[in-house]
A and B are shown apart, each in its own frame.
Chain A
Amino acid sequence: MTDILEITDLEVTYQRSILALHGVNLRVAKGQITSLLGANGAGKSTTLRAISGFIGLDNARVNAGRVRFRGEDITGLQLPRTIHKGIVLVPERDKVFTNLTVAENLEVVATSREEGSKWQQIEEEIFVYFPRLAKLRNKPAGLLSGGERQMLAIGGALVCRPQLLLIDELSLGLAPVIVDEIIERLREVHAKTELSMLLVEQSAAVAFALASYGFVLENGKVELEGATEDLRSNQKVLDLYLGTGSTGRADYLANARRRFEERANV
């Protein structure tokens, strides 16, 4: 199986000094859904942003390591060039244009290669994946619920015609019923398009429901990786991300406290 994305020893610093990732290694297989699990501050979002491209405002920099996309070195490539390569991110926060309607949110997306006539067709395609959005077509996105926003954000990203879709925190803050619905929709999208995806999650349940392979990130490093079935039976993952077992949780908290104190000492 070929990898569409390959990251080796990636190091990212913020504001020239704060090390957010120290040597991350991960791969996304073509046509597969891969998950990236980790707690708050583990570096998941930074990893995604490093792939999809920082902008000047971020004040972040790739210090070392390589990002290869479809065999091509794209390390440090900035927006909007990463988009043109086919890498599209669904961000964690502020993921829709709240002052635009649902339809406008889809239309606004850069589709330079698409003809104007094709446009309606693309929009309808998104509404087939997310029928709920079709009914909300003319509603301002600012009035949507969290789940509807997530669907619209994924829809908007799909309009960009990605080769690789990055989703930051798919399930965070959403009701379980909505999460189930979104998982179902994403499965349909994947079944139809075989789109490669990298999914960042805090919930192992959601990650395992969608992904076939997973990585676990801790303190800016990949601690663990494996096929979903293997991870599912891994005691450490069970402890940390499925909320079973009490010793793991306690370990985790002790770890977190140590990390906090380290930072305070710096």
Chain B
Amino acid sequence: MQIVANIVVLTSLYALVASGYVLVYKVSRVLNLAHGELMILGAYLLVATSAGITSDPLIAIALTAVFSIIVGLSVYLLLMREMTGQPVLAAVLTTVALGILLRGAMVLIWGPQQLNVASMLSFENASVVLTDSIRVSTASLWLVICTVVVYLGLLAFLHMSRWGMRMRASGQNPLLAAQRGINLHTVYALAWTLSTFSGSIAGVLVALDSRLDVNMAVIGLKAFPAALVGGLDSLHGALIGAGVIAVLEVLLIHYVNPLLSDVVPFLVLIAILIVRPWGLFGTKEELNRV
């Protein structure tokens, strides 16, 4: 039964990270390849907050959430805003450059060594015994809870609020959205902010559960197949994609070889790109669209 708990925790992690890819792609058709770095930046912001402002874990995490919103907004306003109206490829390459820059900056500021964020915050990551045979860490439990809350919140926002509808509308037809008076910059800024926010939550919880170093940005890359399997513009698709990747990864680690864990998501990625490039629940786009 422990294996089921592991699958749920890993699914939550991938789903939470994948939601960030989906949000930005769904709204602006831009693939944010700096998402892994932005996620880890969230964890480093927690380090900075706890070292410089407060050592109270709850206040530090709340402040980090606020900072991550500022980061997301700045990324759009200072960088991606200039890419609006440019070819999508230019925007995607910009995110690649942003990722590399962020990675370098984080190493310069916080160093290449592993940080123990949990002990910095005196956060005790105790095992929680759910039943006799199932234990999960406190941080993992929070991860599952946060993922559920973020997904419910996002789905409600996208389908019930006016701005959520505008985000869906702008993704489908940006020209018409502009012609109907929807301010595309506001919509895009909202997508980047929400995406960075949910990514930062994932980053913080991952860092609390293990240690933190810059190379953990690779988790962002591993969650990317989850988003793609589900369909890059589908939120519930991302959830199911995350489940598929997590099941395969956990089972293979358990029954075959732990070394497979870094490879499996990308094997699935290649398989889905060949069979169904738009994913399980994504919109089938015309590839020759101008």
A contacts, CB < 8 Å to B: 52, 55-57, 79-80, 83-84, 88-89, 91, 94-100, 104-105, 107-110, 112, 156-157, 160
| B154 CB within 8 Å of chain A | no
Known: A97-B176, A100-B165. A55 touches B85 (CB 8 A): yes
Interface bits B64-80 vs A (CB < 8 Å: 1, else 0)? 00000000000000000
Q: Residue A156 contacts which of B166, B175, B180 (CB distance < 8 angstroms)?
A: B180
Distance between A120 CB and nearest chain B CB, rounded to angstroms: 13
On chain B, which size bracket covers the interface?
Answer: 20 to 34
Q: With a CB–CB cut-off of 8 A, which chain A residues contact B171?
A: 99
Q: With a CB–CB cut-off of 8 A, which chain A residues contact B168?
A: 97, 99-100
Known: A55-B85, A56-B85, A57-B85. A97 touches B173 (CB 8 A): yes
Extra inter-chain contacts (9) besides given A79-B181, A91-B176, A100-B168, CB under 8 Å: A80-B178, A91-B179, A94-B173, A94-B176, A107-B162, A107-B165, A108-B169, A109-B181, A109-B182
Nearest B residue to A78, CB-CB: B178
Q: Residue A91 contacts which of B84, B169, B175, B283 (CB distance < 8 angstroms)?
A: B175
- Assess whether A83 is in contact with B181, with CB atoms less than 8 Å apart: yes
Nearest B residue to A84, CB-CB: B181
Q: How many A-B residue pairs have CB under 8 A?
A: 72
- Of listed A96, A110, A156, residue having the most chain B CB within 10 A: A110
Distance between B85 CB and nearest chain A CB, rounded to angstroms: 4
Nearest A residue to B283, CB-CB: A99
- Assess whether B172 is in contact with A99, with CB atoms less than 8 Å apart: yes
Distance between B73 CB and nearest chain A CB, rounded to angstroms: 21
Q: With a CB–CB cut-off of 8 A, which chain B residues contact A157?
A: 180
Interface bits B140-169 vs A (CB < 8 Å: 1, else 0)? 000000000000000000000010011011
12 example contacts (A-B, Cβ-Cβ < 8 A) are as follows: A79-B178, A79-B179, A80-B181, A80-B183, A97-B168, A99-B283, A104-B165, A107-B165, A108-B166, A108-B177, A110-B183, A112-B181
Nearest B residue to A112, CB-CB: B181
B contacts, CB < 8 Å to A: 84-85, 162, 165-166, 168-169, 171-173, 175-183, 283
Q: With a CB–CB cut-off of 8 A, which chain A residues contact B181?
A: 79-80, 83-84, 88, 109-110, 112, 160
Q: Which 3 A-B pairs have the closest CB atoms?
A: A110-B181, A56-B85, A83-B181
- Of listed A52, A56, A104, residue having the most chain B CB within 10 A: A104
State the CA gap A100–B166 with chains docked (Å): 10
- Of listed B84, B168, B175, B181, residue having the most chain A CB within 10 A: B181
State the CA gap A209–B130 with chains docked (Å): 74
- Assess whether B182 is in contact with A95, with CB atoms less than 8 Å apart: no
Nearest B residue to A89, CB-CB: B179
- Assess whether A95 is in contact with B176, with CB atoms less than 8 Å apart: yes
Distance between A47 CB and nearest chain B CB, rounded to angstroms: 15
Q: Residue A97 contacts which of B84, B169, B183, B283 (CB distance < 8 angstroms)?
A: B169
Distance between B64 CB and nearest chain A CB, rounded to angstroms: 33
State the CA gap A89–B171 with chains docked (Å): 19
Nearest B residue to A105, CB-CB: B169
- Assess whether A55 is in contact with B180, with CB atoms less than 8 Å apart: no
Q: With a CB–CB cut-off of 8 A, which chain B residues contact A94?
A: 173, 175-176
State the CA gap A107–B182 with chains docked (Å): 11
Nearest A residue to B167, CB-CB: A108
Q: Residue B180 contacts which of A56, A99, A160 (CB distance < 8 angstroms)?
A: A160
